[in-house]
Structure 1
Amino acid sequence: MSIEIANKVALVTGANRGIGKAIVDAFIKEGAAKVYVGVRSTEKAEALLAKHGNKIVPVAIDYSDPATIAASATTASDVEIVVSNAGILKQAGVLDDTVIETFENELEVNVYGLLRMAKAFAPILKANGGGAFVQLNSIASLANFPAFSTYCASKAASYSFTQALKASFAEQGTQLLSVHPGPIATDMAVEAGMEDMGDPVEMVSEGIVASLKAGDFHLFPDTMAQSFEKAYHSFAAGVIEAEPVE
């Protein structure tokens, strides 16, 4: 399966900054008919509205609030491409006093948020011809970095669910793309103390456009991610991406 962005209706969550904003810009550049921008407060979409005008439709989406996701599915009933980008990253070592609380918060957004989005939008994508669902995972889905132990565990869980969704979405003709960035130059990276390591956000947004056109399942878009891909490729191709044995 593959999909072109031109003339399609898309939804991007976490759209007001960083990777999400870059994806919105890339989709508009590719000729998307309309992009719903999912933000926790629609006021945060003002800059995108000023830049792209009536191509943009703000919708309130908070991954920790299931009611907002349900409402957005009603609003965006014509959507053909869903990009589940919203997420949170907290610093917590595995033996820290706050590790359980931190992990619960990250599960709520990074894992339950994905499941809520998939459940809400799968029938809409099916009704609109199949389309595509893009999940922003991470290189942290593949390896645990001790200073961010809970984030890595949450992203490992989201990647596992992404693999489960692959078969379900294939049955309804929906392309699924699992994106695994390394450090990217975003506000989140700065907050995590990785401001000197990040590659440009455009490496992710442009990679998503190219991977959707190519029909890929995995995308490792940046410098560090590509080094992970080299080590992971044979396993991914032979196990994760292989067709299930009947």
Structure 2
Amino acid sequence: MEIKDSIVLVTGGNRGLGKALVEAFLAAGARKVYVGSRTPIESADPRLHPIKLDITNEQEVAAAAQACQDVTILVNNAGVASFASYAGASSLHGARQEMETNYFGPLAMAQAFAPILKKNGGGALVNMLSVLSWFTSPSLGSYSGSKYAALSLTEGIRVELRAQGTRVIGAFAGYIDTDMTTKINAPKASPVDVAANIIEGIRNDSEEVLSDQSSHRVRAALDGSRKAFYQNIQQEWDNAQH
């Protein structure tokens, strides 16, 4: 799909990967980028259109759809992580928040914007997923669950929207160097690099974008032996408990 002159909406576009995506779309020639966030950004760039958008709020999703009738590319980027295991979490609050933001939010956006994308020629819908859409890490248990659900959404909506000409893209990544992962001591991908790879995936009409080294490594390992992969996960978890 051609990026030049496209009209883009990026959720969670005010910081981190979202901000990098906004800048990447502008550099690629997008005519207009709606920057969705709970607190709208301020910008003098006439190509940027800040909108107040909490994707867990049905009224704000509906208002965004009403205001952004010209969108040709929707990027569901907004996400949260509680960094809690399944059994070790002190409450269900984090898990519920993750499901609301990482699954129900993109679902609400897809339902609201599918008719708009159809009206505007099909376009593209991009869901920002994770390597944890493919496997579960105990230390990020409920986050993994929400990203598994988001992958199911991506695969299902892809089938539903294919006939209207909408390309549905799942973008995968490991840890990205953003505010969300500040306290994690592990290799992290640059949000600029991840955004560039997602842009390239849209241009190439890809349905799956492995946007960093981690996503390539995990996919290769899982394709080799899922049992062996989980044996390593078990060992890492056991070692961390001692």
TM-score over 0.5 for the pair? yes
One-letter amino acid matched to 1:31: G
Rate the CA distance shift 1:27–1:102 in 2: closer, same or farther, 3 A. Answer: same
Q: Distance in 1 between matches of 2:76 and 2:209?
A: 14
- Among 224, 227, 238, the alignment partner of 2:217 is 227
Say if 2:132 is the partner of 1:140.
yes
Aligned 8 A contact 1:133 1:174 in 2 = yes
Q: Distance in 2 between matches of 1:83 and 1:234?
A: 31
Say if 2:99 is the partner of 1:107.
yes
Say if 2:129 is the partner of 1:131.
no
Residue 40 (structure 1) shift: 0.5
- Among 30, 50, 54, the alignment partner of 1:32 is 30
Determine the structure 2 residue equivalent to 1:202.
Answer: 192
Determine the structure 2 residue equivalent to 1:175.
Answer: 167
Q: Distance in 1 between matches of 2:72 and 2:36?
A: 15
Structure 1 runs (4+) greater than 4 angstroms displaced: 232-235
Determine the structure 2 residue equivalent to 1:75.
Answer: 67
Could you tell me the percent identity over the aligned residues? 35
Q: Distance in 2 between matches of 1:97 and 1:9?
A: 41
Determine the structure 2 residue equivalent to 1:60.
Answer: 52
Determine the structure 2 residue equivalent to 1:121.
Answer: 113
Determine the structure 1 residue equivalent to 2:234.
Answer: none
Residue 195 (structure 1) shift: 5.1
Residue 196 (structure 1) shift: 4.5
One-letter amino acid matched to 1:127: K
Q: Deviations over 1:109-142 (max 9, x none)?
A: 1110011000000000000000000000100111
Q: Deviations over 1:65-108 (max 9, x none)?
A: 11101000011000000000001011211112535222111111
Q: Deviations over 1:158-217 (max 9, x none)?
A: 101110011111011001110111011101111xx2254211111211111111111111
Kindly tell me the number of residue pairs found equivalent between the two proteins.
225
Structure scoring higher RCO (CA < 8 A, sep ≥ 6) equals 1
Determine the structure 1 residue equivalent to 2:208.
Answer: 218
Runs (5+) with no aligned partner, structure 2: 226-242
Runs (5+) with no aligned partner, structure 1: 236-246
- Among 20, 23, 26, the alignment partner of 1:22 is 20
Relative to the length of structure 1, the TM-score reads 0.88
- Among 76, 90, 96, the alignment partner of 1:98 is 90
Q: Distance in 2 between matches of 1:90 and 1:159?
A: 19
Relative to the length of structure 2, the TM-score reads 0.89
One-letter amino acid matched to 1:34: K
Q: Distance in 2 between matches of 1:232 and 1:135?
A: 21
Determine the structure 2 residue equivalent to 1:239.
Answer: none
Residue 232 (structure 1) shift: 4.8
Q: Distance in 1 between matches of 2:222 and 2:140?
A: 21
Aligned 8 A contact 1:185 1:195 in 2 = no
Q: Distance in 2 between matches of 1:27 and 1:195?
A: 30
Rate the CA distance shift 1:40–1:224 in 2: closer, same or farther, 3 A. Answer: same
Q: Distance in 2 between matches of 1:228 and 1:97?
A: 26
